[in-house]
Amino acid sequence: MSVKEKISGFFASIKRFLQRLWNGRHTIGDLVKHKHRFVVLDTETYKEKISFQLSGINIFVFLGVTSLVLVFLTALLLAFTPLRELIPGYANTGMVEQTYENARIIDSLEAELKSQEEMLADIQYIMLGKDPAERHIVEQRQKDSTKVQPTPYVKSKADSLLRDEVETRENNKK
């Protein structure tokens, strides 16, 4: 009998054990009393390598402890390895700091680019023989003309009537 057949036989006996448990033919006391032997043999010499004596309660304890160990190891793996970055919503502190640093650098580069563009435009004006101050005056006028001018408030007769009505109501409440 090969090791593969023995292992499959072991799992078959566990399956039968669990079927008996769920069928309800035996009480839990019967399942605890019945002992099963798990043996690993050398196929050539038939010498016993490992032997376990199992009962129903031992199997449940073994499965419970194994489950707890696996959950604990998984939690440790996620907590102390870079795998934690794969958890949705978990931010890598180095990445967040790098993002803020990149945003600050981009802002400073944009300001530097704008000042260099202004300087280049001033140089172009000078090369054309014009005064750079004129360019700034023209740009300021263009900015002022594109601004929305507020419309002046004009009192209408309906507004005055509404204002009088509200004031009389407030005076009547007092």
Distance CA 65, CA 166 (A): 78
Give the pLDDT band (50/70/90) at residue 53.
confident
Residue 41 within any structural domain of the chain: yes
Residue 42 within any structural domain of the chain: yes
Summarize the confidence of residues 1-30 as an average pLDDT: 75
Residue 155 within any structural domain of the chain: no
Distance CA 121, CA 130 (A): 11
As beta bridge partners, residue 41 has 48
> How does pLDDT run across 104-148, given as a tens digit for each residue?
999 999 999 999 998 898 888 888 888 878 877 877 777 777 666
Whether 21 has a pLDDT exceeding 70, the answer reads no
> How does pLDDT run across 56-73, given as a tens digit for each residue?
778 788 889 999 999 999
Q: Which residues contact 123 (CB under 8 A, 6 or more apart)?
A: none
Residue 168 within any structural domain of the chain: no
Residue 70 within any structural domain of the chain: no
Confidence (pLDDT) at 73:
96
Q: How many domains does the chain have?
A: 2
**What is the bridge-based pairing of β-strands 35-41 and 48-55?**
antiparallel
Confidence (pLDDT) at 24:
59
- Give the predicted TM-score (pTM) of the model: 0.38
| Boundary residue ending a domain (61, 85, 106) | 61
Distance CA 65, CA 69 (A): 6
Q: Which two tokens stand for residue 124?
A: 């172009």
Q: Which two tokens stand for residue 150?
A: 């507020």
Residue 49, phi then psi, degrees to nearest 5: -95, -55
DSSP 8-state code for residue 86: G
Summarize the confidence of residues 15-36 as an average pLDDT: 70
Residues 12 and 35: beta-carbon distance below 8 Å: no
Distance CA 104, CA 111 (A): 11
Confidence (pLDDT) at 148:
64
Residue 15 within any structural domain of the chain: yes
Give the pLDDT band (50/70/90) at residue 171.
confident
Which structural domain range is residue 102 located in? 93-146
> How does pLDDT run across 72-107, given as a tens digit for each residue?
999 999 888 888 878 777 777 778 889 899 999 999
In this structure, is the dihedral angle defined by the CA atoms of residues 140, 142, 144 and 146, taken in order, positive or negative? negative
- CA 153 vs CA 110, 156, 159, 161: distances in Å: 40, 9, 11, 16
Q: Say whether both 57 and 97 belong to one domain.
A: no
